[in-house]
Structure 1
Amino acid sequence: MSVTAWIALVALAFTGTQAWIALRKLRLDLFEKRFQAYEAINTAINDRRAEMGQRDSTRPLEPDIEVLRRIWVLQRQMRVLFPVDVSDCLTRIDAALIACDVAHMEWRSIARVAAYSDPKETGAKHTASMKADQDLRAAQDELARLTHRYIRQYGWVELAGVHARRWTESRMAQFVRWYNRVRR
């Protein structure tokens, strides 16, 4: 082989290596964005559920628009990052959130009236509220299964890279906190 052929072969190998590295980085970035989006929306839904449980039954329902707005923004992000079946599941979660809010509001409005003496209706509303919460949990579990399928398709290099980066960042944050405490 001539010298120019060897140079071309080395350049081709170098270009192939760079393309492989770029592809791995793109896949790692997509994995990390998908993982973070799923974690964020799951946390937001759990926060919304906890907020519904902590409401005072003696006061009328006041919707918390900020939590719902955060869920809607995260749903848009999830619809961009994941395929259509995840988008359909997000629609079911939206419907379950609305049903859970309505059932919880109906139950709390009956429980708010202290002199109300129909335990059957109160029990039925409480059962409907628990069923709505169970439906929300089922939709949330379905979202976990669907997103896991698309997160799992990446190799061990991507998975280890994300966890190694998170571990490194947490250790650096711990070191900075320790250093600031010692320096005072």
Structure 2
Amino acid sequence: MNRDWLLYGEGEMLKEIIGNGTSSSTIVSDKSFRTYFKEENVRMVPLLNIDSVGGMHSSNEVGEYEPEFILDMLPFKGAIQGDVAIKETGDSMSPRIPSGAIMLLRRVMEWQEYFGYGHVFVLVLTDGRRITKRVTKCIENPREYVLCESINPAYPSEELPKKMIYSVWKVIDVLVHEGY
């Protein structure tokens, strides 16, 4: 595999191995795949070993004290520098984000000033939990709370104190493997 082709869409997809172990451009050319990488704004994004859970009272599979590391690099259309990918655990966000789905996340830097209600976010809480919820405005006390909603109707909405939120990551895209 040609690293420059994978990261930047330059050169050929595969390298041909020559007798002494050096490489040159491959005789295999997949122009349509290269074009996708160039024209569709695809960027390789690190898939981290952490997860986010749909349930407010569920534990993450990867605990807060386990070191974070990159498992893989995945291509996402529309990704930008700083985006990361993580796995979803649990079914409270199903069917839109089923357990096992990979989410492309983008950090929301000034969330205290403007949240962007109505979107799905991964909230990193001050106790280390990571939860995935659609966040809407809390009508009763919007200055101190947000309303966290599940997609799955079996799970009730809950108010979450803003002071419990450490960081906010907007879900930009979701990859779902349907097994067929």
Structure 1 or 2: more helix by fraction: 1
Structure 1 or 2: more strand by fraction: 2
For normalisation by structure 1, the TM-score amounts to 0.24
Larger relative contact order, structure 1 or 2 (CA cutoff 8 Å, min sep 6): 1
For normalisation by structure 2, the TM-score amounts to 0.24
Higher Cα radius of gyration: 1
